[in-house]
Amino acid sequence: MTTGRFITLEGGEGAGKSTQIQRLIAWLTKEQGHQVIATREPGGSDGAEAIRELLVNGEVDRWDAETEALLHFAARRDHVERRVRPALEAGIWVVCDRFADSTRAYQGIVQCAGLDYIEELYRLTLGGLAPDLTLILDLPVELGLERARERGGSDRYERMGLAFHEALREAFLVIAAKHADRCAIVDATGSVDEIAARLRHVVSTRWP
């Protein structure tokens, strides 16, 4: 049986990942004929959603970087084993709002846990599983935070300050350069339709 494809969307706060995942899945199912599920991190399974509540709520400094990374990988392990891997093995495509690159960027680079630490956690919890394609939605930080504010609510990460988010944007660009074989940077400015078209172009170029 053919395995499914694993696509992840990454980027800073307010990049529009959730909206674009809906658009991308509609295109993949209706026009490309694939069976696709949408999921998210942290979360995506019952256990991971419980851990998500610990991560996105509370005071900004409630965890140090290493502890926070451990929580993310605990959630990720449950998510992968219970939802992602079974779907892929059944031939279903998986489109995920955030994955390990977020932990590399947030905790590994910006919060200074170190990429070696993150990669060791990755190896121990996930083995060799990696996305087939990672789409990094890139836009000016102030625009992204404005979009996040308009969306309503404010989680721990959105409250971490402008300097944090500027560093986060640079961290994703570093990750994209290091993993250029699977990462594509996509301009996330402009209209929803324009961004969706850019994403479709990248995916159709990867898998004609």
CATH number assigned to the domain covering 6-206: 3.40.50.300
Q: Kindly state the average pLDDT of the residues 139-159.
A: 84
Domain boundaries, the chain: 6-206
Kindly report, residue by residue over 29-38, the tens digit of the pLDDT. Answer: 999 999 999 9
**Confidence band, pLDDT 50/70/90 cuts, at residue 151:** confident
Token code pair at residue 142: 């102030």
Residue that has been written with the tokens 């200074």 in this structure: 112
What CA–CA distance (Å, rounded) separates 67 from 49? 17
Torsion angle, CA of 81/18/116/77, rounded to 10 degrees? -10
Residue 127 identity (one-letter amino acid): G
